[in-house]
């Protein structure tokens, strides 16, 4: 066992598959003085008892990328590090009981092909050929993934550990980290064997991540959003039919997932391994009556087979040979969950030089990719793929224990559920309410959660079907469709109002704030009392974020950004502040609220309720009074009509809203806003705008000011790209004949080849067409070019439009 050094450059806390993969990838990146601490033996947490399934399937582009990378890494790892390892690439069949599930498979197939994987949607006879023991009478078909398989989690971890040690990294086992201190610009990790000084700490403590995270609370950290569930699988004794098949074919069965019933079934030696994600699941270690034990290394919970009864029964009907053998072993172990089931990988919110690679539900499948991503965060400051869906900053302060436990149970019980576009998951709701929440509900608001804030997605009328069941479809038409249309048309022909609580907002001030902002964004600043968009780039010229900048003069600004970006963008701003600077950035998201009042009759409405100068042009700002309350008016409209945002203090919102409504505004919701903004080609953050694309590829070159006095992140990369010419271009496409709007990452085809992808899709009620925004290779991205888009396995014609907005291309309505 290695001795504990006094210092290291990076200390990783936790020797499960994820921590060790982080160590391996950091060492591979050439970093030295790397130390991993494990309080027991490697794998003592969740890793040792994992079933070891390694799927590539995901409906998330980032997770699919990570899992694909893992399979590629694991295939060559044994040889690369010279360590024997059992990795069976058996392929898998994922069963479908419904047309909607088949559509989900088609979408995953498209994404998989784009990532270079040959996923196949297969019929029942082909399924039977691949899996002879299965009952298929009630199935629609299946997805075959040739890359799926299973690996021995302990061997995998040990192989990564060997590779790391061979590259000079240290692993100290039986050494608990016990606390943290900050000493000038160093972290001191306290351990059972003495303190270690380091620059960077990585929390890879698995289901202990919250405990480790809590040590950082005094230094500005937050409580790690997670809960621990118990997860079981059971192993059977040998099944003679399986033994015979192996003898005859020398092959294991492909892994089977009955995702609609919610379990997997895998051949384990000559028996089966059944692992359900049961609805009647159990959260563990949730309060003082059931505390997280000091040490649970290599331990399990008692078996709880009652919970699995329905699933065992269902699986025996599906694969009757399962019933031919007794159960030989039950594994019931702790598995950590974040509120959305994706792990935490990246910078720890509120802290410098602290990273998280923890709370993995599929850590064996994702561990390889996670190590790559974490190492990139540390060594390069950004990642190859946009990793927002795993970014720790996606959960903000509202994600308390109640929320985490409710969501963890919901996600676990629906581990394989389809995520439909018009559905809102019900658990953990009402965490953050607008002061007019009751009024929105009274008006029929069908709510969705946005960074914890409840906002109306659409407004139902009496008699509308608002059941959860009605949302179980990919189709755009449903009870909401007519209402969204009415809302859009009210905005288009009259005036609408949208309550937008949680619009993230920062006050930026201090001597030199203007100059400083110019050194952060790629473009210029608005004039005093004006508002404009500011784009923040990373060093590679890719889109970090977009904020609206309001200039109040004398180095005083308000920056506004997407609700979900609240912590992300605050850190983008804070990171740009150098020591000794006089710039202040204050988060005011909870103090100010916003009503979007928009439509051709909005001027008329505003004239009745305010003393504002309503002839001030588009993009102007003014502070005025409504009902004698101070409000800020910004003449902008994300809906693309004449309009104003009324920014109002929390305590004044109710009265102002009542007044706007009494003057005849029609409430509209987020779904209508999405439709309206897509018609204008306005990009949405983490769909159209992400670090998967550069500012130039995103069609935002007009916002860059290369000739300004201040340099800015990404300038060099963008200049080079400008000289070279972009390889991809942002385009608007009109899709023909589709009843489902194109989802994120649908593939765009031309001449039989993939030439791009959709970044958002919606139906535009003003233009009467289905619209897809996306990225297409420059050679093809020409106006009127016909391409096709693969939407759930069907190919639809799509026409690339002239650059610029589809609706009101000259912005006449906005400027009217």
Ligand X SMILES: Cc1cc2nc3c(=O)[nH]c(=O)nc-3n(C[C@H](O)[C@H](O)[C@H](O)COP(=O)(O)OP(=O)(O)OC[C@H]3O[C@@H](n4cnc5c(N)ncnc54)[C@H](O)[C@@H]3O)c2cc1C
Q: Which is nearer to ligand X, 374 or 456 (CB)?
A: 374
Choose one: 44-52, 348-356, 589-597, 694-702; the region binding ligand X (CB under 6 A): 44-52
Q: Which is nearer to ligand X, 345 or 491 (CB)?
A: 345
Taking each helix axis as running N to C, give the angle between helix 653-662 and helix 602-609, from 0 to 180 degrees, rounded to the nearest 10: 120
Strands 629-634 and 621-626: antiparallel
- Choose, by CB under 6 A, the member of 154, 283, 335, 440 that binds ligand X: 335
Measured from the CB of residue 11, what is the shortest distance to ligand X in angstroms? 10
> Can you give 718-754 as a three-state secondary structure string?
HHHHHHHCCCEEEEEEEECCCCCCCCCCCEEEECCEE
Measured from the CB of residue 312, what is the shortest distance to ligand X in angstroms? 15
Q: Does 690 bind ligand X (CB under 6 A)?
A: no
Choose one: 8-16, 517-525, 636-644, 708-716; the region binding ligand X (CB under 6 A): 8-16
Choose one: 50-58, 118-126, 553-561, 720-728; the region binding ligand X (CB under 6 A): 50-58
Q: Which is nearer to ligand X, 191 or 698 (CB)?
A: 191
Measured between alpha carbons, how far is 765 from 679 in angstroms, rounded to an integer?
9
Residues 193-222 that bind ligand X (CB under 6 A): 204-208, 212
Measured from the CB of residue 22, what is the shortest distance to ligand X in angstroms? 9
Residues 401-460 that bind ligand X (CB under 6 A): none
Residues 777-816 that bind ligand X (CB under 6 A): none
Q: Which is nearer to ligand X, 369 or 502 (CB)?
A: 369
Q: Does 228 bind ligand X (CB under 6 A)?
A: no
Instruction: State the binding string over 279-318 for ligand X (x if CB under 6 A, else -).
Output: ------------------x---------------------
Q: Does 731 bind ligand X (CB under 6 A)?
A: no
Q: Which is nearer to ligand X, 16 or 576 (CB)?
A: 16
Choose one: 37-45, 442-450, 764-772, 777-785; the region binding ligand X (CB under 6 A): 37-45
Q: Does 90 bind ligand X (CB under 6 A)?
A: no
Contacts 24+ apart (CB under 8 A), 614-622: 617/815, 618/811, 618/814, 618/815, 619/526, 619/530, 619/531, 619/532, 620/529, 620/530, 620/531, 621/529, 621/530, 621/531, 621/550, 621/551, 621/552, 622/529
Measured from the CB of residue 285, what is the shortest distance to ligand X in angstroms? 13
3-state secondary structure of 249: helix
**Cα torsion through 627, 628, 634, 639, rounded to 10:** -10
Residues 6 or more apart from 727 whose CB is under 8 A from it?
697, 777, 778
Closest by Cα among 438, 439, 426 to 467: 426
As a whole number of Å, the end-to-end CA separation of the chain is 75
Q: Does 526 bind ligand X (CB under 6 A)?
A: no
Q: Which is nearer to ligand X, 44 or 484 (CB)?
A: 44
Q: Does 35 bind ligand X (CB under 6 A)?
A: no
Q: Which is nearer to ligand X, 292 or 777 (CB)?
A: 292
Measured from the CB of residue 622, what is the shortest distance to ligand X in angstroms? 52
Choose one: 31-39, 88-96, 220-228, 518-526; the region binding ligand X (CB under 6 A): 31-39
Closest by Cα among 791, 792, 761 to 774: 761
> Can you give 494-550 as a three-state secondary structure string?
CCEEEECCCCEEEEEECCCHHHHHHCCECCCCCCCCEEEEEEEECCCCEEEEEEEEE
Q: Does 49 bind ligand X (CB under 6 A)?
A: yes
Measured between alpha carbons, how far is 14 from 55 in angstroms, rounded to an integer?
24
Residues 646-665 that bind ligand X (CB under 6 A): none
Residues 344-373 that bind ligand X (CB under 6 A): 358, 360-365
Q: Does 325 bind ligand X (CB under 6 A)?
A: no
- Choose, by CB under 6 A, the member of 51, 167, 560, 696 that binds ligand X: 51
Measured between alpha carbons, how far is 69 from 401 in angstroms, rounded to an integer?
33
Which one-letter DSSP state was computed for residue 795?
E
Choose one: 38-46, 277-285, 401-409, 603-611; the region binding ligand X (CB under 6 A): 38-46
Return the structure tokens found at 91.
């392929």
Q: Which is nearer to ligand X, 124 or 300 (CB)?
A: 300
Q: Does 333 bind ligand X (CB under 6 A)?
A: yes
Measured between alpha carbons, how far is 94 from 102 in angstroms, rounded to an integer?
10
- Choose, by CB under 6 A, the member of 4, 29, 40, 397 that binds ligand X: 40
Measured from the CB of residue 345, what is the shortest distance to ligand X in angstroms? 10
Please give the C-alpha separations between residue 92 and each of 38, 393, 682, in angstroms, as whole numbers.
Answer: 34, 34, 40
Measured from the CB of residue 597, what is the shortest distance to ligand X in angstroms? 47
Measured from the CB of residue 453, what is the shortest distance to ligand X in angstroms? 30
- Choose, by CB under 6 A, the member of 8, 35, 37, 171 that binds ligand X: 37
Residues 6 or more apart from 322 whose CB is under 8 A from it?
236, 239, 265, 272, 274, 312, 315, 316
Measured from the CB of residue 178, what is the shortest distance to ligand X in angstroms? 7
Q: Which is nearer to ligand X, 366 or 760 (CB)?
A: 366
Return the structure tokens found at 309.
């009864």
Measured from the CB of residue 423, what is the shortest distance to ligand X in angstroms? 26
Residues 166-195 that bind ligand X (CB under 6 A): 176-177
Residues 6 or more apart from 54 whose CB is under 8 A from it?
67, 70, 71, 74, 87, 148, 149, 150, 151, 364, 365
Q: Which is nearer to ligand X, 154 or 167 (CB)?
A: 154
Measured from the CB of residue 1, what is the shortest distance to ligand X in angstroms? 14
Measured between alpha carbons, how far is 237 from 321 in angstroms, rounded to an integer?
11
Please give the C-alpha separations between residue 513 and each of 508, 526, 552, 558, 583, in angstroms, as whole numbers.
Answer: 7, 13, 11, 11, 6
Measured from the CB of residue 339, what is the shortest distance to ligand X in angstroms? 16
Return the structure tokens found at 653.
């919102």
Measured from the CB of residue 315, what is the shortest distance to ligand X in angstroms? 16
Surface-to-core class of residue 290, CB atoms within 10 Å of its CB (0-12 exposed, 13-18 middle, 19+ buried): exposed
- Choose, by CB under 6 A, the member of 24, 26, 46, 746 that binds ligand X: 46
Residues 136-165 that bind ligand X (CB under 6 A): none
Measured from the CB of residue 682, what is the shortest distance to ligand X in angstroms? 38
Strands 255-258 and 92-96: parallel
Size of the site for ligand X (CB under 6 A): 42
User: Per residue in 80-98, is it b (16+ CB within 10 Å) or e — as a string?
Assistant: ebebebebbbbbbbbbbee
Beta strand spans in 305-422 (E): 327-337, 344-347, 354-358
Q: Which is nearer to ligand X, 181 or 241 (CB)?
A: 181
Q: Does 50 bind ligand X (CB under 6 A)?
A: yes
Measured from the CB of residue 567, what is the shortest distance to ligand X in angstroms? 22
Measured between alpha carbons, how far is 617 from 814 in angstroms, rounded to an integer?
9
Q: Which is nearer to ligand X, 338 or 457 (CB)?
A: 338
Q: Does 16 bind ligand X (CB under 6 A)?
A: yes
- Choose, by CB under 6 A, the member of 11, 26, 31, 47 that binds ligand X: 47
- Choose, by CB under 6 A, the member of 10, 11, 12, 15 that binds ligand X: 15
Q: Which is nearer to ligand X, 333 or 643 (CB)?
A: 333
> Can you give 51-65 as a three-state secondary structure string?
CCECCCCCCCHHHHH
Strands 629-634 and 556-561: unpaired
Taken in order 310, 313, 319, 322, the sign of the CA dihedral is positive
Q: Which is nearer to ligand X, 53 or 747 (CB)?
A: 53
The contact set with ligand X (CB under 6 A) reads 13-19, 37-40, 44-47, 49-53, 176-177, 204-208, 212, 231, 233, 297, 331, 333-335, 358, 360-365
């Amino acid at each position: 066992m290695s001795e504990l050094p006094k210092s290291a450059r990076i200390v990783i806390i936790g020797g499960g598959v994820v921590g060790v993969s982080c160590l391996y990838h950091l060492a591979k990146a050439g970093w030295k003085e790397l130390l991993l601490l494990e309080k027991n033996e490697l794998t003592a947490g969740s890793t040792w008892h994992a079933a070891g399934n390694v799927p590539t399937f995901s409906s998330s582009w980032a997770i699919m990328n990570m899992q694909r990378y893992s399979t590629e890494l694991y295939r060559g790892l044994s040889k690369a590090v010279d360590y024997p390892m059992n990795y069976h690439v058996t392929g898998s069949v994922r069963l479908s009981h419904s047309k909607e599930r088949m559509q989900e498979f088609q979408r995953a197939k498209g994404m998989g092909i784009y990532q270079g994987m040959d996923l196949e949607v297969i019929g029942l006879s082909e399924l039977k050929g691949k899996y002879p023991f299965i009952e298929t009478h009630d199935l629609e078909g299946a997805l075959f993934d040739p890359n799926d398989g299973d690996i021995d989690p302990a061997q995998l971890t040990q192989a990564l550990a060997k590779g790391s040690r061979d590259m000079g990294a240290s692993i100290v086992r039986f050494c608990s980290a016990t606390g943290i201190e900050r000493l000038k610009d160093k972290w001191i990790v306290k351990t059972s064997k003495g303190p270690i000084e380091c620059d960077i700490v990585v929390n890879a403590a698995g289901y202990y991540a919250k405990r480790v995270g809590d040590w950082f609370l005094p230094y500005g950290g937050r409580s790690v959003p997670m809960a621990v569930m118990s997860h079981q699988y059971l192993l059977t004794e040998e099944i003679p039919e399986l033994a015979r098949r192996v003898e005859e074919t020398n092959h294991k069965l492909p892994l089977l997932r009955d995702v609609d019933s919610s379990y997997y079934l895998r051949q384990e030696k000559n028996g089966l391994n059944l692992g359900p994600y049961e609805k009647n699941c159990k959260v563990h270690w949730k309060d003082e009556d059931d505390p997280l034990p000091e040490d649970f290394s290599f331990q399990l919970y008692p078996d709880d087979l009652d919970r699995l009864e329905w699933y065992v029964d269902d699986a025996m009907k599906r694969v009757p040979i399962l019933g031919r053998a007794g159960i030989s072993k039950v594994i019931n172990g702790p598995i950590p969950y974040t509120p959305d089931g994706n792990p935490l990988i990246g910078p720890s919110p509120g802290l410098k030089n602290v990273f998280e690679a923890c709370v993995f539900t599929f850590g064996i499948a994702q561990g390889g990719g996670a190590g790559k991503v974490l190492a990139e965060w540390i060594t390069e400051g950004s990642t190859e793929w946009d990793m927002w869906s795993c970014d720790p900053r996606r959960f903000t302060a509202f994600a308390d224990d109640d929320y985490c436990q409710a969501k963890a149970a919901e996600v676990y019980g629906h581990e394989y559920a389809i995520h439909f576009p018009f559905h809102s998951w019900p658990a953990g709701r009402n965490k953050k309410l607008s002061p007019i929440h009751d009024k929105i509900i009274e008006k029929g608001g069908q709510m969705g959660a946005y960074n914890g804030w409840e906002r109306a997605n659409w407004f139902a009328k009496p008699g509308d079907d608002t059941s959860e069941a009605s949302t179980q479809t990919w189709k755009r038409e449903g009870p909401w469709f007519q209402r969204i249309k009415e809302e859009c048309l009210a905005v288009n022909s009259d005036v609408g109002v949208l309550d937008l609580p949680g619009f993230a907002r920062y006050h930026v001030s201090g001597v030199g704030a203007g100059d400083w902002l110019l050194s952060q964004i790629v473009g210029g600043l608005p004039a005093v009392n004006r508002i404009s968009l500011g784009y923040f780039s990373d060093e590679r010229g890719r889109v970090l974020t977009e904020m609206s900048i309001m200039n109040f003069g004398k180095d005083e600004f308000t920056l506004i950004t997407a609700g979900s970006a609240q912590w992300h963008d605050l850190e983008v701003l804070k990171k740009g502040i150098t020591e000794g600077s006089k710039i202040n950035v204050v988060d005011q998201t909870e103090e100010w609220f916003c009503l979007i009042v928009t439509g051709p009759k909005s001027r008329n409405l505003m004239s009745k309720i305010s003393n504002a100068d309503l002839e001030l042009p588009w993009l102007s700002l003014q502070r005025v009074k409504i009902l004698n309350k101070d409000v800020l008016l910004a003449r902008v409209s994300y809906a693309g009509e004449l309009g104003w945002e009324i920014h109002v203090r929390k305590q004044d919102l109710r009265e102002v809203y009542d007044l706007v409504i009494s003057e005849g505004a029609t409430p509209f919701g987020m779904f209508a806003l999405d439709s309206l903004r897509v018609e204008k080609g306005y990009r949405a953050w983490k769909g159209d705008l992400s670090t998967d694309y550069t500012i130039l590829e995103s069609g935002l070159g007009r916002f860059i000011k290369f000739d300004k006095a201040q340099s800015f992140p990404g300038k060099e990369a963008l200049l080079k790209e400008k000289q070279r010419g972009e390889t991809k271009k942002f385009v608007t496409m009109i899709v023909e004949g589709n009843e489902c709007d194109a989802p994120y990452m649908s593939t765009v085809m031309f001449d039989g080849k993939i030439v791009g992808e959709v970044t958002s899709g919606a139906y535009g009620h003003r233009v009467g067409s289905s619209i897809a925004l996306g990225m297409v290779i420059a050679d093809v991205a020409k106006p009127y070019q016909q391409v096709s888009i693969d939407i759930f396995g069907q190919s639809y014609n799509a026409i690339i439009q002239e650059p610029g907005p589809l609706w009101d291309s000259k912005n006449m309505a906005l400027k009217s």
